[in-house]
């Protein structure tokens, strides 16, 4: 059963906190504002313990660890409350978590590293009641999800090899055949999450040069060298994945589920990944697949913690329909750059992608809020 209070928890989880004004404090019976305490996070081996709190917690988190940081409040039963997400380094962020009376500790989560708990502190004299909370997902649970997703990715790599070699072969054919093979490869390549950049083996980014050549006045055969190099790199990567273990680090898994669509919005919709093919529909098809492939293994975990994932999958289905519509309009041999689409269609796609990112955000947050066991 999905519980509505988690909507509030998710809003808090992405960094929303509502500090009391001085007037509110006086109405609550506090004549003086509580001082703001600085909590210095200097290394990845410890998490600072706040002093006991009378009334409202007012903190400044000073992160000088060299790694991005997420901090949240936990109680003695392991429930997670409010979270301060993605504190840069070096950076100072104010944080006024709304906590009811009780015993708590902080949990510091460092990018691509472990979660560390502080010593305990106590809150007394609080006016807050029924603060939203959730049982954190554990490192063990996320690691199991990541391994499952990695196995799925590995099974799909031979198809990537097949398409890379088909592209290399097509450069000796007609331009139209080479373009079709390129778009076939591009869509499948984009269906892998961004952790593919961290796979063992060579870099697989050489497709950009192929696109520039095929959508220029140069003969398709000029793309043979980079296409052959790409096919060779794909073979070496496949071999490396067969002989070495790779999985998305547990602290990053939820971010990967969100990041692929987020980066599509940030880069593709601005034309920064268009090297002449104007292949936005093909790229988005790949991104939608990537999102599903990463989301599917973690779905039951976040649903068990209260997240209704049905709206996410509904929105991905809506994007599927938009992709097909816009591919018919602006894809094919006479492809059109996104910047040249009619404004109405640009706005429709931008809104659809933005909505998907909004719905995916809690998945990232819920897998960052975690505990070790």
pLDDT digits (tens, 9 = 90+) for 3-24: 333 333 344 343 333 333 333 4
Average pLDDT score over residue span 180-200: 85
Which of 78-82, 143-147, 248-252, 323-327 reaches the highest mean pLDDT? 323-327
pLDDT (0 to 100) of residue 16: 33
If you classify domain 140-371 with CATH, what class do you get? mainly alpha
pLDDT tens digit sequence for 108-143: 988 766 678 999 999 999 999 888 888 888 888 988
Q: With bands split at pLDDT 50, 70 and 90, how would you rate the model's confidence at 33?
A: low
Give the sign of the dihedral formed by CA 179, CA 181, CA 183, CA 185. negative
Is the model's pLDDT at 256 over the cut of 80? yes
**pLDDT, averaged across the chain:** 86
* Euclidean distance between CA atoms 307 and 10, whole angstroms: 9
Residue 286 has pLDDT above 60, yes or no: yes
Q: What is the mean pLDDT of residues 91-112?
A: 90
Is residue 371's pLDDT more than 80? no
Question: How far from 121 is each of 99, 104, 116, 345, CA to CA, in Å?
Answer: 12, 5, 15, 53
Closest CA to 81 of 11, 117, 131, 126: 131
Q: Check residue 132 and give its pLDDT.
A: 81
Give the residue with greater pLDDT, 241 vs 64: 64
Residue 113 confidence (pLDDT): 67
- What pLDDT was estimated at residue 22? 39
The confidence score (pLDDT) of residue 245 equals 78
Specify the pLDDT at position 333: 81
**Section 180-185 average pLDDT:** 97
Residues of the chain with CATH 1.20.1420.20: 140-371
- Which pLDDT score, from 0 to 100, does residue 349 have? 98
Q: Distance (Å, rounded) from C-alpha 56 to C-alpha 76?
A: 19
- Which residues of the chain does CATH 2.60.40 include? 5-135
Phi/psi of residue 124, each to 5°?
A: -135, 155
pLDDT at residue 135 in the model: 83
Residue 182 has pLDDT above 90, yes or no: yes
5-135 topology per CATH: Immunoglobulin-like (2.60.40)
**Looking at per-residue confidence, does 214 or 85 come out higher?**
214
- Write the DSSP string, 161-226: HHHHHHHHHHTTS-HHHHHHHHHHHHHHHHTS-GGGGGSSSS--TTHHHHHHHHTSSS-GGGGHHH
Lowest mean pLDDT among 48-52, 134-138, 168-172: 134-138
The structure's pTM equals 0.76
Provide the pLDDT confidence category of residue 171 given band limits of 50, 70 and 90: very high
Residue whose entry in the numeric block shows the structure tokens 């692929």:
260
pLDDT of residue 20: 39
Q: Going by C-beta distance under 8 Å and a sequence separation of 6 or more, which residues neighbour residue 315?
A: 352, 355, 356, 359
């Amino acid at each position: 059963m999905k519980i509505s209070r988690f909507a509030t928890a998710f809003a808090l989880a992405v960094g929303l906190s509502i500090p009391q004004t001085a007037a509110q404090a006086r109405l609550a019976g506090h004549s003086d504002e509580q001082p703001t305490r600085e909590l210095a996070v200097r290394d990845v081996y410890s998490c600072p313990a706040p002093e006991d709190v009378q009334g409202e917690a007012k903190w400044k988190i000073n992160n000088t660890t060299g790694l991005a940081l997420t901090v949240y409040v936990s109680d003695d039963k392991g429930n997670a409350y409010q979270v301060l997400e993605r504190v840069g380094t070096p950076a100072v962020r104010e944080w006024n978590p709304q906590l009811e009376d009780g015993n708590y500790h902080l949990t510091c989560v460092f990018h691509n590293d472990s979660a560390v708990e502080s010593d305990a502190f106590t809150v007394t004299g609080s006016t807050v009641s029924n603060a939203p909370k959730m049982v954190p997902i554990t490192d063990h649970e996320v690691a199991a999800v990541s391994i499952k997703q990695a196995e799925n990715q590995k099974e799909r790599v031979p198809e990537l090899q097949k398409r890379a070699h088909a592209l290399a072969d097509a450069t000796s054919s007609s331009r139209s055949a080479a373009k079709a093979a390129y778009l076939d490869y591009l869509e499948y390549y984009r269906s892998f999450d961004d952790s593919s950049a961290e796979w063992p083996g060579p870099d697989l980014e050489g497709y950009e040069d192929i696109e520039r050549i095929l959508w220029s006045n140069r003969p398709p055969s000029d793309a043979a060298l980079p296409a052959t190099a790409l096919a060779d790199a794909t073979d070496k990567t496949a071999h490396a994945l067969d002989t070495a273990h790779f999985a998305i680090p547990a602290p990053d898994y939820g971010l990967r589920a969100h990041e692929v669509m987020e980066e599509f919005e940030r880069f593709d919709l601005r034309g920064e990944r268009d090297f002449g093919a104007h292949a936005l529909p093909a790229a988005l098809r790949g991104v939608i697949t990537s999102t599903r492939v990463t989301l599917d293994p973690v779905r039951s975990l976040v649903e068990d913690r209260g997240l209704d994932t049905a709206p996410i999958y509904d929105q991905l289905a809506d994007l599927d329909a938009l992709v097909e519509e816009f591919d018919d309009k602006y894809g094919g041999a006479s492809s059109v750059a996104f910047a040249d689409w009619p404004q109405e269609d640009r706005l429709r796609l931008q809104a659809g992608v933005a909505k998907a990112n909004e719905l995916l955000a809690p998945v990232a947050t819920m897998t960052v809020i975690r505990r070790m066991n």
